[in-house]
Chain A
Amino acid sequence: MREVEEQLRSEVVRLFAEGAIDLFLGYSSSRVPLRSAACVLHDADGVARLVWNRTCTPNLAALLRELLRSPPGATGDAPPRIGLLAKGCVSRSLVTLMKANQISRESLLIIGVDCPGMIDRHKVAARVGGEIAAAIWSGDDLAVRATGSGEHILSAEDVLLDDCRTCAHPSAVLSDRFLGEPRAPRRDALDDPASSLTEAEPEERWSHFQGEVARCIRCYACREACPNCFCTECFADASDPRWIGVTTDETDLALFHLGRAFHQAGRCVSCGACVSACPLGIDLRMLYEKVNGDVKVRFGTDVGTSLDEPEPLCRFALEDDETFMTEPGKGGRGMGVR
């Protein structure tokens, strides 16, 4: 990743010098240990701030809607041309957003990279049994100092985000330049329908779901971190109709999470940005992994890999599965299919 980081910096300097971009969107380190933040550069001066490492968890596609809506420093009517760093999941979000008419291909200059997988801070914290006070990398090993429990040596592989562990497309699927070597999609991950929970008994599943959502404080960090949550008014904020009470009542929390999960069907790229953003480490993956697995198995959708194929819930096939329905085959058939 070091090499790619160096290449990235010189590439960004070049792009600014050529006038090919007005802004660059990448990652920089933050004051919080093991957390990189999104960073916007307006010129090549800040290029040394750019990082590319295993803590670059935010999905940069989530920032584009803001940047394109009120571009800082933009002059006239022309939208700014934005350069951005795209790991596999981010590139798939870009595809998804283009199909949803949220961003245009012309306004982007995509620098694709291969991603070795990001680490999960919640897992690190659980391993070290305390707050992460400081962390130092040496290669893929991590020395973490935790408050009250001394120093721990961890390997990145042991604390990978679950989404990265099962990621099928680690390399950007769409890019103008690619830094490093692209990797082919991982077959094993492509074929895995996922959904860890479906094996459990219904009551067990319910109590897991309840236990998780009950901890939610409704800060909406998950929503803010998600590239797909681009609606100008979220159903969770709507006051007419008021879908969700302004409470932390468990049913209101369940409604928020089920509603959000449903809206992710066919759009979620399993980037894990929401999981990383959640201050409480809530198991959001159990929800989007389910809808992702469903659209894959039912409608053959591998989210964000095709610019031409409409979203699975915006199209249909006459022979779609009906086995979930109540008495589907009975009754009169429709005129159109007789």
Chain B
Amino acid sequence: MIEANAEFEPRIVAFLCNWCSYAGADLAGVSRMQYPPNVRVVRVPCSGRIDPLFVLKALQNGVDGVLVSGCHPGDCHYVSGNLLARRKFAVLKSLLEHVGVEPERIHFSWVSAAEGARFAEILERVIGAVRQVGPGTKMVKSIEEAQ
């Protein structure tokens, strides 16, 4: 199972806070750190900006995993956006798990602008977890069927 999945290249969408994680990802890039190319980055002004509907919609559109990342507690540009986001995502992840969506697909983390290496590491972790559960099938809309 794991072996078969090693062939599979997951598609991950990462919603990154402009002030920290996005800069962290950028730092990883300019420092020429190697990190897997499976990720599509969406830059947002704050992790608090991320509506849980973004995550549901991403799954429906066929991504295999979602990463949401913001500033560490205490560092949010808008003071508490990340702490409110933490509550929202605790509930969202638990709700998705409850209906049977694999928790391995849904990730929430803190990465600061200085943590390029941590960004690369987290991404490896996320991709590894998504590989374990294979391509996303639940919630994925098939266009042919819908028409």
Question: Of all chain A residues, which has the CB nearest B106?
Answer: A324
> Which residues on A sit within 8 Å (CB–CB) of B140?
251
Is the beta-carbon distance between B111 and A331 smaller than 8 angstroms?
Answer: yes
Contacting residues of chain A (200-245) with chain B, CB-CB under 8 angstroms: 202-209, 235, 243, 245
The prevalent SS among residues of A at the interface is helix
Is the beta-carbon distance between A235 and B53 smaller than 8 angstroms?
Answer: yes
Most buried by B among A205, A314, A324, A326: A326
Interface membership of A300, Cβ < 8 A: no
Interface membership of A290, Cβ < 8 A: yes
Is the beta-carbon distance between A299 and B95 smaller than 8 angstroms?
Answer: no
CA distance A205 to B87 in the complex (A): 23
For A311-338 the 0/1 string (1 means CB < 8 A from B) is 0111111101110111110111111111
Return the contact of A259 from the options B53, B67, B146 (Cβ within 8 A). Answer: B53
Is the beta-carbon distance between A258 and B96 smaller than 8 angstroms?
Answer: yes
Is the beta-carbon distance between A327 and B91 smaller than 8 angstroms?
Answer: no
> Which residues on A sit within 8 Å (CB–CB) of B27?
none
Contacting residues of chain B (49-74) with chain A, CB-CB under 8 angstroms: 52-53, 56-57, 60, 67, 71-74
Q: A198-B98, A291-B91, A332-B114 are in contact. Are A320 and B108 (CB under 8 A)?
A: no
> What's the interface size class on B, roughly?
35 or more
CA distance A235 to B52 in the complex (A): 12
Interface membership of A265, Cβ < 8 A: yes
> Which residues on B sit within 8 Å (CB–CB) of A336?
73-75
Is the beta-carbon distance between B74 and A324 smaller than 8 angstroms?
Answer: no
Contacting residues of chain A (262-319) with chain B, CB-CB under 8 angstroms: 262, 265, 286-287, 290-291, 294-295, 298-299, 312-318
Return the contact of B95 from the options A294, A313, A320, A331 (Cβ within 8 A). Answer: A294
> Which residues on A sit within 8 Å (CB–CB) of B112?
331-332
CA distance A331 to B73 in the complex (A): 11
Which 4 residue pairs across A and B have the least CB separation, nearest first?
A336-B74, A206-B100, A334-B74, A316-B83
Q: List 29 A-B contacts (CB under 8 A).
A: A202-B100, A203-B100, A204-B100, A206-B99, A206-B100, A235-B53, A245-B146, A249-B145, A249-B146, A252-B60, A254-B139, A262-B91, A265-B91, A286-B99, A312-B87, A314-B84, A320-B83, A320-B87, A324-B93, A325-B108, A325-B110, A326-B122, A327-B109, A327-B121, A330-B118, A332-B112, A334-B74, A334-B110, A335-B74
